[in-house]
C-alpha cells in the first residue's frame, strides 16, 4: 500500500519525494503494535464468525498482503515503512492516527500507486468498514481512559506560530495553511486532540509547506539590490479605465474606497508594470509619492459613510497576479505597513516591508469611503448642476476633472531591494546560529535545530535519521547547503515536530519536564518553549511547583501570552466565528465600512488582558463598570467618548458607571454578534450561548419529533409570542424553559450588538414591536431588563460561571475534555480561586499547576 502516492503524483523534485517518504515513514514507524501479522497468518478459519476480531484482522492483513507487502514488507520497507507488523485492535494514539490516514488515502484512492495492482471497490469498502469500526471501538476506549490527553498534532494556528518562532520571522505572507483542510473544533476549542485528525491530504500539505518555506526563505539565490521606478501606466479596476484614461492618462494610481466592500471598485491599487512581483523573498523599501485629495470636500459626508475629519490612511498588502484577480481580495494579504497621507501637497511616504518571491505590492485605503460606485451615483444625481456636462448614472470623469471626490492619489512608486541583512538574515541565524551555515558543522547545526523543533533533547534514533538524510543527499550530489535544507524539510515534516508527542513513559501519570514545558508553552504562547523554559525542563526543576509557578508568571507577563488570550477567547466566547454569518450590508453597513469584527475582538482581548495583569476578579466578565473601546465601538455603543476619540488613539479604557446598556462580556458587540445569525436575533440562540459559554451547560438537541418554531404560531407577532406558542408543546417546554429566559434579556441588542428598544419594522403593513427584555428563570428568579439579568447571574451563579471558566481553561490547556473524575480537583481549584477574590491570574496559575494539567 503506497501511502505517499499523493506525493508522487505531484510535480515535486526527487528531493521533495524523498523527504515525503521519510516523513510518512516516520509516521508509520511510530505506530506501536502488539504483535506481527503477515499475509500468511491472515488466512481465515472456517469456525470464525463474520464479525469476529480475527475476521477483521484477516481483512486488513489480506489487503496489506495483496497490495502492499511487495514494497513494504519487513525486508524491503520502501520509504522506511513496513506493513507486516500492522495489526488490530487499535491500542495506541499512533495507531489511531495511522488508521485515519489509511482511511483517507483509500477513500481518495491515492494508494496503492497507479502503476500497482488495484483493489476493487468491494475490497476497499471492506477495509474501510473494518478500520472505521476499529477506530470507533478504540475511540470509545480512549474517551474512558481515565482522563488522558490524546496525543495531538499542532493546530494550523500553532503550526504557523511555531514556524515563525523557529525562523524568527513572520510567515503569514506565505499563507502556508491556506489550502489546509478546515480545522475541526470540539466544544469550540481548536486544541482538543481527538478533533485534530490527520489525513493523507494534510500530510501532503505539510510536505509542500515545509518545502516552500525552506526554499523560499533559506534556499533563495543571492541577489544584489535592484531599484524600480514607476511613473505611469497606472491601470486600475476595469470600471475605472475610461475615466482614468480621459482625465489622468494613467499617470496616477488612485484609491477610492476601502477594500472591504461588495463592489470592490477602486479598493486595491496595483502596479501594472510590476505584476511579476519581486524576484526573491526579502525586505524591500517602497516609496510612494501620494496626496489625500478633497478631504475638505463640500459634498455631504454622509454619502461617503466615513469621518472626513480623520486623516486618510494608506496601507500596503501583498498581491499575486497568479493567484486571482489583482483588484480583488486574495487569500494571502496581511497588512504589511500603514501610514497617514498628507493633505496639502504630495509627499514621499516610505515603507519597509517583507515580500515573498512573486508578490507585488498593492495599496489600500483602510478608512476610505464605503461602496465607491454607490457614492459616484449619489454625487452625480445630487450635484449634477455643478458639472458642465453632467451624466446620469456612474460617471467618474466629471467628478475627477471638475469635482471634489475624496480619494488618495499616487503619482510615483519606487521599489528597492532585496535589502541585505546582517548575518544573512533572521532565518539564517535562527536556523544555523549567528555564524550561519557551516558545512564542516552541518550535522551539529541540524541536530541543534532539530532539538528546538522537536522541543526535547534528541535521542540516538533522531540523530541517526538526521545524519542519514544529510548523507543521503550528499551521495546524490547535492551541495552541503542543499543537503542541509532538505534535512530541514524532513525535520519539519516529522511527527516529532507536527505532534505534541510525549516522551513520558506509558506507566507514568505525571508529565516529564520536557513534555510539561511543551504543554505549558503551547497553552500560553502557542509556540515552542524558549531558552529559559527549556533550561528549566533540562534541569528537572520545572516539575517542582515553585519553579512551575515562576515560569507561569513570567510567561503570562510576556507579550507572547497574547496568543493564549486570542486563542482562548476565540474558543471560549466563539469569537473566531464572527463573520461566519455576517449581516446584510444594507442593514449594517458600518459592520463592513468600519471593519467592526476586528474592534469587537480587540475589546474582549483587552478586557481579558487587563484582568490577567491586575489579577482582577473574573466576576467582572459577568458585569463591570468599564470596558475598552476605540472610536468605532464608542460610536456603535453611543458612548460620549465617540466625540473625543480619534482613530489614532486606538483603544482606551472608558467608564460605564452611568451606562447600564453595557458591562461584562454579555454587553460586548463581539459576543452579541456571534450569538446571532446576522439577519435577526433569537432568545433561543443567545440563550443556548449563555447556557454553554457562561454557565457551562450543554443543552440536549431537540428531539426529532419536535416541530419547527414556525409550525403553529399563527397570530404571533414577536419572537417571544412565537416561542410561547411553540413551548405549549410539552416536549418543547422542557428545554425552552431552561433556555429562553437566558436569551430574552439580550433581545435589547440587534444582530451586531447595537442597543434597541424596538424590533425592526416588518415589511409591508404593521408597526415595530417593542422589545420585552424581562424573564423568569426555572429557579423562580425574575428580572425586568438586561441589568437585572446580570444581577441575577452575579448573585446566584457566579460560582457556576467561575467553575465553567476553570473547566474551559483546562480544556484549552490540556487538549482534552474534562471528565467526571476531574471534577473533584476542579472544585478544589475553585475554592482556592474564591479565596483570592476570583482573581484571573490566580485562576490561571492554579489551573496550570493542577494535577490535571501536569498529568498525561
pLDDT > 90 fraction of the chain, expressed in percent and rounded: 61
Residue 66 has what pLDDT?
80
Q: Is the pLDDT of residue 839 over 60?
A: yes
Q: Is the pLDDT of residue 23 over 70?
A: no
Residue 62 has what pLDDT?
83
Boundary (domain end) residue, out of 419, 451, 472: 419
Residue 741 has what pLDDT?
87
The length of the chain is 856
Same domain, 735 and 755: yes
Question: 427 to each of 218, 282, 433, 450, 526, how far by Cα in Å?
Answer: 7, 11, 9, 15, 20
For cell 467592526, what's the residue?
596
685 class by beta-carbon count within 10 Å (0-12 exposed, 13-18 middle, 19+ buried): middle
User: Do residues 550 and 557 make contact, with C-beta atoms less than 8 angstroms apart?
Assistant: no
Same domain, 305 and 414: yes
Of residues 415 and 103, the one with the higher pLDDT is: 415
Tens digit of each residue's pLDDT (9 = 90 or more) over 225-258: 999 999 999 999 888 998 999 899 999 999 999 9
Q: Can you say whether residue 175 is alpha, beta or left, with left for phi > 0 and alpha for psi between -120 and 50 degrees? A: left
C-alpha cell at 651: 483603544
Of residues 69 and 162, the one with the higher pLDDT is: 162
Q: Can you say whether residue 356 is alpha, beta or left, with left for phi > 0 and alpha for psi between -120 and 50 degrees? A: beta
Beta pairing class for 313-319 and 337-340: antiparallel
- Residue 514: Cβ within 10 Å count: 21
353 forms bridges with which residues in the sheet? 284
**Assigned domain for 700 exists:** yes
Residue 15 has what pLDDT?
37
pLDDT bin (cut points 50, 70, 90) of residue 100 is low
Residue 34 has what pLDDT?
31
Residues ≥6 apart with Cβ < 8 Å to 365: 255, 256, 257, 258, 259, 267, 312, 313, 314, 315, 407, 408
Please give the average per-residue pLDDT across 262-271, as a whole number: 84
Residue 432 has what pLDDT?
97
Same domain, 233 and 378: yes
Pick the closest to residue 497 from 467, 454, 536, 437 (CA basis).
Answer: 454
Boundary (domain end) residue, out of 109, 125, 143: 143
Q: Is the pLDDT of residue 178 over 60?
A: yes
Tens digit of each residue's pLDDT (9 = 90 or more) over 597-638: 999 999 999 999 999 999 999 999 999 999 999 999 999 999
Same domain, 728 and 813: no
Same domain, 814 and 737: no
316 forms bridges with which residues in the sheet? 337, 363
3-state secondary structure (DSSP) of residue 315: strand
Residue 393 has what pLDDT?
56
For cell 507577563, what's the residue?
557
Residues ≥6 apart with Cβ < 8 Å to 430: 166, 167, 168, 169
Tens digit of each residue's pLDDT (9 = 90 or more) over 291-342: 999 999 999 999 999 999 999 999 999 999 999 899 999 999 999 999 999 9
CA distance 88 to 135: 10
Residue 144 has what pLDDT?
40
User: Do residues 377 and 359 make contact, with C-beta atoms less than 8 angstroms apart?
Assistant: no
Please give the average per-residue pLDDT across 360-388, as a whole number: 91
pLDDT bin (cut points 50, 70, 90) of residue 115 is low
3-state secondary structure (DSSP) of residue 221: coil
Pick the closest to residue 672 from 584, 775, 577 (CA basis).
Answer: 577
**Assigned domain for 574 exists:** no
CA distance 256 to 304: 10
CA distance 465 to 25: 11
3-state secondary structure (DSSP) of residue 54: helix
- Residue 297: Cβ within 10 Å count: 17
Residues ≥6 apart with Cβ < 8 Å to 676: 581, 682, 685, 686, 750, 751, 752
What's the CATH number where 347 sits? 2.60.120.260
Residues ≥6 apart with Cβ < 8 Å to 790: 622, 623, 663, 664, 666, 745
- Residue 267: Cβ within 10 Å count: 25
**Assigned domain for 90 exists:** yes
Q: Is the pLDDT of residue 10 over 60?
A: no
Residue 709 has what pLDDT?
52
For cell 476506549, what's the residue?
141
For cell 481518495, what's the residue?
108
Backbone phi, psi, residue 275, to 5°: -65, -25
What kind and span of H or E run contains 285? strand 282-293
Residue 98 has what pLDDT?
65
Same domain, 847 and 779: no
CA distance 342 to 340: 7
Residue 7 has what pLDDT?
29
Tens digit of each residue's pLDDT (9 = 90 or more) over 692-702: 999 998 876 66
Q: In terms of residue numbers, what domain contains 252?
A: 226-419
**Assigned domain for 481 exists:** no
- Cα of 29 vs its chain's centroid, Å: 31
User: Do residues 813 and 848 make contact, with C-beta atoms less than 8 angstroms apart?
Assistant: yes
Same domain, 838 and 746: no
- Residue 809: Cβ within 10 Å count: 23
User: Do residues 428 and 436 make contact, with C-beta atoms less than 8 angstroms apart?
Assistant: yes
CA distance 727 to 724: 5
C-alpha cell at 53: 476480531
Pick the closest to residue 776 from 749, 732, 747, 738 (CA basis).
Answer: 738
**How far from each other are the two terminal CA atoms of the chain, in whole angstroms?**
33
Residue 110 has what pLDDT?
46
Q: Is the pLDDT of residue 729 over 60?
A: no
Where is average pLDDT lowest: 431-440, 444-453, 764-773?
764-773
- Cα of 223 vs its chain's centroid, Å: 34
Give pTM, 2 decimals: 0.81
CA distance 397 to 394: 9
User: Do residues 256 and 372 make contact, with C-beta atoms less than 8 angstroms apart?
Assistant: yes
Q: Can you say whether residue 596 is alpha, beta or left, with left for phi > 0 and alpha for psi between -120 and 50 degrees? A: alpha
**Assigned domain for 848 exists:** yes
Question: 475 to each of 77, 470, 500, 789, how far by Cα in Å?
Answer: 20, 9, 33, 73
C-alpha cell at 562: 497574547
Pick the closest to residue 446 from 514, 478, 492, 499 (CA basis).
Answer: 492
Beta pairing class for 347-355 and 282-293: antiparallel
Q: Is the pLDDT of residue 24 over 50?
A: no
User: Do residues 574 and 693 make contact, with C-beta atoms less than 8 angstroms apart?
Assistant: yes
CA distance 240 to 218: 41
Question: 651 to each of 312, 594, 666, 671, 735, how far by Cα in Å?
Answer: 19, 14, 19, 18, 40
For cell 547547503, what's the residue?
481
Pick the closest to residue 628 from 648, 647, 610 (CA basis).
Answer: 610
pLDDT bin (cut points 50, 70, 90) of residue 31 is very low
Pick the closest to residue 514 from 458, 448, 432 (CA basis).
Answer: 458
User: Do residues 668 and 600 make contact, with C-beta atoms less than 8 angstroms apart?
Assistant: yes
Question: Could you give the maximum distance between any two Cα atoms of the chain, in Å?
Answer: 98
Q: Is the pLDDT of residue 22 over 80?
A: no
User: Do residues 559 and 529 make contact, with C-beta atoms less than 8 angstroms apart?
Assistant: no
Cα-only R_g, the chain:
30
Q: Rounded to the nearest 10 degrees, what angle do helices 200-217 and 156-167 cross at?
A: 20
Please give the average per-residue pLDDT across 152-159, as a whole number: 95
pLDDT > 70 fraction of the chain, expressed in percent and rounded: 83
Pick the closest to residue 635 from 669, 609, 675, 673 (CA basis).
Answer: 669
Q: What is the mean pLDDT of the chain?
A: 85
Q: Is the pLDDT of residue 204 over 50?
A: yes
**Assigned domain for 493 exists:** no
pLDDT bin (cut points 50, 70, 90) of residue 777 is confident
Residues ≥6 apart with Cβ < 8 Å to 103: 128, 131, 132, 135
The C-alpha angle with vertex 82 and arms to 197 and 472, in degrees rounded to 5, equals 95
pLDDT bin (cut points 50, 70, 90) of residue 716 is very low
C-alpha cell at 596: 467592526
Where is average pLDDT lowest: 96-105, 631-640, 733-742?
96-105
C-alpha cell at 407: 480619494
Tens digit of each residue's pLDDT (9 = 90 or more) over 473-516: 999 999 999 999 999 999 999 999 999 977 888 878 899 999 99
Where is average pLDDT lowest: 6-10, 122-126, 532-536, 673-677?
6-10
Boundary (domain end) residue, out of 789, 820, 837: 789
Same domain, 43 and 138: yes
Same domain, 307 and 328: yes
**Assigned domain for 319 exists:** yes
Same domain, 725 and 821: no
Residue 444 has what pLDDT?
97
Tens digit of each residue's pLDDT (9 = 90 or more) over 576-585: 999 888 888 8
User: Do residues 492 and 449 make contact, with C-beta atoms less than 8 angstroms apart?
Assistant: no
**Assigned domain for 769 exists:** yes
Instruction: Give how many domains the chain has, as a whole number.
Output: 4
Same domain, 249 and 303: yes
Same domain, 816 and 765: no
Amino acid at each position: 500500500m503506497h501511502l505517499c502516492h499523493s506525493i508522487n503524483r505531484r510535480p515535486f523534485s526527487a528531493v521533495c519525494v524523498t523527504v515525503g517518504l521519510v516523513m510518512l515513514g516516520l509516521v508509520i514507524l511510530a505506530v506501536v503494535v502488539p504483535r506481527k501479522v503477515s499475509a500468511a497468518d491472515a488466512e481465515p478459519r472456517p469456525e470464525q464468525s463474520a464479525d469476529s476480531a480475527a475476521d477483521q484482522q484477516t481483512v486488513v492483513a489480506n489487503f496489506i498482503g495483496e497490495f502492499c507487502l511487495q514494497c513494504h514488507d519487513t525486508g524491503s520497507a520502501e520509504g522506511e515503512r513496513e506493513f507486516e507488523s500492522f495489526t488490530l485492535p487499535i491500542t495506541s494514539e499512533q495507531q489511531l492516527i495511522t488508521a485515519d490516514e489509511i482511511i483517507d488515502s483509500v477513500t481518495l484512492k491515492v494508494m496503492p500507486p497507479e502503476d500497482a495492482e488495484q483493489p476493487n471497490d468491494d475490497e476497499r469498502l471492506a477495509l474501510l468498514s473494518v478500520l472505521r469500526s476499529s477506530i470507533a471501538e478504540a475511540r470509545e476506549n480512549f474517551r474512558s481512559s481515565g482522563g488522558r490527553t490524546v496525543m495531538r498534532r499542532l493546530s494550523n494556528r500553532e503550526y504557523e506560530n511555531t514556524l515563525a518562532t523557529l525562523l524568527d520571522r513572520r510567515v503569514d505572507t506565505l499563507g502556508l495553511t491556506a489550502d489546509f483542510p478546515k480545522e475541526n473544533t470540539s466544544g469550540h476549542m481548536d486544541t482538543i486532540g481527538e478533533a485534530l485528525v490527520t489525513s493523507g491530504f494534510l500530510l501532503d500539505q505539510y510536505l509542500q509547506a515545509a518545502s516552500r518555506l525552506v526554499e523560499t526563505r533559506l534556499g533563495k539565490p543571492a541577489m544584489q539590490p535592484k531599484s524600480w521606478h514607476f511613473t505611469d501606466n497606472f491601470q486600475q479596476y476595469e470600471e475605472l479605465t475610461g475615466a482614468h484614461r480621459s482625465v489622468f492618462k494613467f499617470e496616477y494610481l488612485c484609491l477610492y474606497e476601502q477594500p472591504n466592500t461588495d463592489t470592490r471598485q477602486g479598493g486595491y491599487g496595483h502596479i501594472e508594470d510590476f505584476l511579476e512581483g519581486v524576484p526573491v523573498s526579502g525586505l524591500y523599501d517602497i516609496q510612494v509619492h501620494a496626496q489625500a485629495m478633497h478631504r475638505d470636500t463640500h459634498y455631504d459626508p454622509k454619502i461617503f459613510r466615513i469621518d472626513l475629519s480623520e486623516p486618510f490612511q494608506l496601507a500596503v498588502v501583498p498581491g499575486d497576479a497568479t493567484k486571482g484577480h489583482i483588484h480583488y481580495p486574495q487569500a494571502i494579504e496581511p497588512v504589511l505597513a500603514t501610514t497617514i497621507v498628507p493633505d496639502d501637497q504630495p509627499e514621499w511616504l516610505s515603507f519597509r516591508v517583507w515580500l515573498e518571491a512573486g508578490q507585488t505590492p498593492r495599496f489600500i485605503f483602510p478608512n476610505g469611503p464605503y461602496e465607491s460606485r454607490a457614492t459616484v451615483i449619489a454625487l452625480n444625481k445630487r450635484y449634477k448642476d455643478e458639472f458642465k456636462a453632467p451624466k446620469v448614472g456612474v460617471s467618474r470623469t466629471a467628478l475627477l476633472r471638475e469635482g471634489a471626490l475624496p480619494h488618495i492619489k499616487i503619482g510615483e512608486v519606487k521599489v528597492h531591494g532585496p535589502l541585505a541583512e546582517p548575518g544573512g538574515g533572521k532565518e539564517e541565524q535562527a536556523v544555523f546560529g549567528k555564524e550561519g551555515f557551516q558545512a564542516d558543522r552541518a550535522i551539529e547545526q541540524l541536530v541543534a535545530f532539530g532539538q528546538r523543533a522537536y522541543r526535547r533533547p534528541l535521542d540516538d534514533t533522531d540523530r541517526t535519521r538526521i545524519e542519514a538524510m544529510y548523507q543521503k543527499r550528499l551521495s546524490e550530489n547535492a551541495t552541503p547547503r542543499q543537503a542541509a535544507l532538505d534535512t530541514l524539510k524532513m525535520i519539519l515534516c516529522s511527527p516529532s515536530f507536527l505532534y505534541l508527542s510525549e516522551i513520558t513513559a506509558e506507566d507514568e501519570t505525571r508529565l516529564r519536564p520536557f513534555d510539561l514545558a511543551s504543554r505549558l508553552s503551547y497553552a500560553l504562547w502557542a509556540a515552542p518553549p524558549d531558552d529559559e523554559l527549556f533550561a528549566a525542563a533540562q534541569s528537572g526543576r520545572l516539575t517542582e511547583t515553585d519553579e512551575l509557578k515562576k515560569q507561569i508568571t513570567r510567561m503570562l507577563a510576556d507579550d507572547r501570552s497574547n496568543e493564549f488570550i486570542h486563542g482562548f477567547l476565540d474558543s471560549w466566547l466563539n469569537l473566531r466565528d464572527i463573520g461566519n454569518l455576517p449581516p446584510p450590508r444594507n442593514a449594517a453597513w458600518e459592520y463592513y465600512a468600519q471593519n467592526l469584527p476586528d474592534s469587537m475582538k480587540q475589546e474582549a482581548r483587552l478586557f481579558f488582558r487587563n484582568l490577567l495583569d491586575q489579577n482582577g476578579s473574573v466576576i467582572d466578565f459577568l458585569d463591570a463598570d468599564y470596558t475598552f473601546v476605540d472610536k468605532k465601538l464608542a460610536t456603535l455603543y453611543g458612548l460620549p467618548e465617540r466625540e473625543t476619540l480619534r482613530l489614532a488613539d486606538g483603544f482606551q479604557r472608558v467608564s460605564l458607571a452611568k451606562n447600564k446598556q453595557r458591562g461584562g462580556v454579555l454587553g460586548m458587540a463581539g459576543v452579541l454578534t456571534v450569538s446571532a445569525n446576522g439577519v435577526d436575533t433569537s432568545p433561543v440562540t443567545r440563550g443556548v450561548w449563555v447556557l454553554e459559554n457562561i454557565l457551562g451547560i450543554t443543552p440536549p438537541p431537540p428531539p426529532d419529533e419536535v416541530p419547527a418554531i414556525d409550525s403553529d404560531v399563527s397570530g404571533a407577532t414577536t419572537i417571544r409570542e412565537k416561542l410561547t406558542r411553540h413551548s405549549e408543546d410539552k416536549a418543547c417546554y422542557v428545554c425552552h424553559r431552561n433556555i429562553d429566559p437566558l436569551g430574552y434579556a439580550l433581545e435589547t441588542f440587534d444582530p451586531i450588538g447595537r442597543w434597541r428598544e424596538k424590533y425592526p419594522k416588518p415589511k409591508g403593513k404593521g408597526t415595530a414591536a417593542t422589545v420585552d427584555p424581562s424573564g423568569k428563570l426555572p429557579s423562580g428568579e425574575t428580572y425586568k431588563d438586561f441589568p437585572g439579568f446580570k444581577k441575577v447571574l452575579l448573585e446566584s451563579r457566579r460560582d457556576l460561571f467561575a467553575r465553567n471558566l476553570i473547566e474551559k481553561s483546562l480544556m484549552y490547556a490540556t487538549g482534552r475534555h474534562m471528565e467526571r473524575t476531574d471534577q473533584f480537583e476542579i472544585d478544589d481549584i475553585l475554592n482556592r480561586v474564591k479565596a483570592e477574590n476570583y482573581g484571573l491570574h490566580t485562576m490561571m496559575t492554579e489551573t496550570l499547576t493542577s494535577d490535571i494539567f501536569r498529568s498525561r
